[in-house]
A and B are shown apart, each in its own frame.
Chain A
């Protein structure tokens, strides 16, 4: 997928002006925020997420060991494990498998890692027909759009927009009933499953002790993609490894609850090896492609905790910025707080300058994260890296340096601030608010600036309490 994260600011402004998007995002918030809270009350969230974070951290602390263990156990059951250093490598591996085995048609279940790779474009270029079978992803493929949410990829679209799209692309009578729209997509997709030579899926987890991959879905398309075609290819990141199935059970207590407010998803599919001779279904070949794509670099950096992420989307559902601008503004595969850490880490902090700053640091994401990723802290780390590398705009760096210098000179600070608050109080006039600030258009574009009272607390206090004792004057 093309990286457009440098345009966050302008894209965000466009998105703010879109009333359809606003309605869609309001719906997301109304559904997912209380939904998660209600089912999370079924368990001891803090204790469970302590356990989940520890499981994920253990896997990352011994990543090489668990990945090799996974490969051994997978191979023992006939699975071929491929290692991809880059997103392009993933595409080359998939197209090579397809070529070698005469694959003409492929069906796909949802995979964000394949979005990182822009796999569909690569397959189409190689002459392979690929169809997204997750309803949301299917809608996006019809409209040639990228996903705007990692769980609900089409959340930015209203039902009316989907009705129009189906009528246009399917050349059928326009339907507005959700059930009718779903049936129409289902009728289109069913023959594709039966025709496909290859099923492509992601993997929410890969299990080291059994060599299995696991997907969490609600629509059943994932299970058809893993069992009907003769070749199954699962693509995921190297960080998704989990030591044991018991660990998965703990994580699964949190993943659907955090993601969609479900105690458990409709399907949890564990895929282990190829079809055995007495199996009724299942693929003849099972390939697992494990992508690094920048993950090992993150593992060696100060933001490594982001690799614990289990892709539930709770951080974006609860983020006031995501709730305002939606996922497309972020300009790459992963939006919201997790994206504001992942995108700069994958594509380079110089290519996503705004993202680590596109947060109020309110930490709503941090308190709902099921694996305790300190997202605001990680965004702050990226801000520090940008600052150290001189990537921030000059006026910003100057302002910060000036403030740090001025605030460490108490006498000069007292003098300058005394003048400053006097001027601003005068500007505020009788009403006590300033409608336009010369250097603060970001603020006064949408808000007044309440004017200061006119004197500083320190000056007023000193005039009431003179002389200050040496202690009161401080020991700075």
Chain B
């Protein structure tokens, strides 16, 4: 299987180790992975802020960069959802692009969804000595149905115990530009999320999207919690310690 890795702009800029963890997982699932070097952003920030033209421009770039791949995989439900669910709508008024966009949308997957449903990954390389709780990110959950996939994969990680938090499916309050435009509301929402995480009494909260990750980690640290680890599901599945070096 020839898989195009779309690392997403946030992983690229903030947490390259998650990109490498993703790479490792895809390879251990037997995929041939290509990484288009010109990739930047899927266009979601513009799309969600009303800049349809700007979003379209970046979407066209994505299509050109990735359409030669058999599958496109992103370590993000949000960005995968943008391509899979929103690109067809974005080009609804552009019949000349519809076919290419539909084709790209149909073969784009969130990482854990891909590993479970397409690559049918049997064993994961990672080990984790401790307990975790899982935060369901909104776009992955409600746009792509990513819910049992990360849990099924985490169950394969030796040494790991999963303890569910209350309201695991509640939004963390990130919402892209929302977190900056309405910083105090966003902070209140993430504060509730942090309460639930802390109440679960685990070593780490694991999730599948960088936006939520930065938001939750940022609030936990501001609250003075320096011990609860905030990890991307790819890091845990691929072996987090290996990539920390």
- A interface residues, Cβ below 8 angstroms from B: 9, 12-13, 16, 320-321, 323-325, 354, 357-364, 366-367, 377, 380, 383-388, 392, 396-397, 400-401, 403-404, 406-408, 410, 413, 417, 420-421, 433, 435, 440-443, 445-450, 452-453, 455-458, 460-462, 465, 468, 471-476
Contacts and interface: CB of A to CB of B under 8 A. Distances in A.
B16 A440 contact: no
Contact of A359 (B14, B17, B52, B175): B175
Given A442-B179, A457-B11, 18 more contacts: A12-B182, A16-B184, A323-B189, A360-B175, A360-B186, A363-B138, A363-B139, A367-B142, A386-B50, A400-B45, A400-B51, A403-B46, A446-B184, A446-B187, A448-B217, A457-B12, A461-B37, A476-B64
B171 A320 contact: yes
Contacts of B186: 360, 442, 446
Contacts of B68: 471, 475
B158 interface: no
A229 B217 CA distance: 61
Given A363-B143, A364-B138, A449-B214, A320 B182 contact: no
B65 A475 contact: yes
Given A384-B50, A400-B54, A410-B38, A452 B178 contact: no
Nearest to A406: B40
Contacts of B188: 16, 324
B190 interface: yes
Nearest to A456: B12
B40 A413 contact: yes
Considering the complex of A and B, which 6 residue pairs feature the smallest CB-CB distances, nearest first? A360-B175, A446-B187, A404-B54, A387-B50, A474-B36, A442-B183
B142 A443 contact: no
A290 to B, nearest CB: 33
Contact of B217 (A364, A380, A410, A450): A450
Residue of A360, A407, A457, A462 with most chain B CB atoms under a 10 A cut-off: A457
A457 B58 contact: no
Interface string B1-39: 000000101011111110110010000000000111111
Contacts of A475: 36, 64-65, 68
Nearest to A420: B13
Contact of A462 (B37, B177, B191): B37
A474 B51 contact: no
B192 to A, nearest CB: 8
B12 A407 contact: no
Contacts of B36: 471-476
Contact of A468 (B37, B170, B176, B192): B37
A229 B61 CA distance: 67
Contacts of A465: 35
30 contacts: A16-B185, A324-B188, A354-B182, A360-B138, A363-B143, A367-B142, A380-B47, A380-B50, A386-B50, A403-B41, A406-B40, A407-B9, A407-B58, A417-B12, A442-B181, A442-B186, A446-B219, A447-B222, A448-B217, A448-B221, A449-B214, A450-B14, A450-B213, A452-B14, A455-B16, A456-B13, A460-B20, A465-B35, A472-B34, A473-B36
Given A325-B185, A359-B178, A453-B17, A384 B219 contact: no
A474 B37 CA distance: 6
Nearest to A12: B185
Contacts of B142: 362-364, 366-367
Given A387-B49, A403-B54, A453 B184 contact: no
B40 A407 contact: yes
B50 A385 contact: yes
Contacts of A367: 142
Interface in B178-213: 178-192, 213
Contacts of B19: 457, 461
Contact of B46 (A404, A456, A471): A404
Nearest to B193: A320
A420 B190 CA distance: 26
Given A476-B64, A476-B65, A448 B222 contact: yes
B114 to A, nearest CB: 18
Chain A, interface SS category: helix
Main secondary structure on B side of the interface with A? helix
A433 B189 contact: no
B88 interface: no
B214 A457 contact: no
Nearest to A441: B183
Contact of A12 (B23, B65, B139, B184): B184
Contact of A383 (B13, B39, B48, B171): B48
B173 interface: yes
B215 interface: yes
Contacts of B47: 380
Contact of A408 (B12, B50, B61, B139): B61
B159 interface: no
Most A Cβ at <10 Å: residue of B39, B51, B181, B219: B51
A453 B15 contact: yes
B134 interface: no
Contacts of A397: 51
A386 B147 CA distance: 34
A47 B53 CA distance: 36
B130 interface: no
B129 to A, nearest CB: 22
A373 to B, nearest CB: 14
Given A360-B174, A403-B54, A473 B187 contact: no
B57 A408 contact: yes
B104 to A, nearest CB: 13
A360 B51 contact: no
Nearest to A391: B50
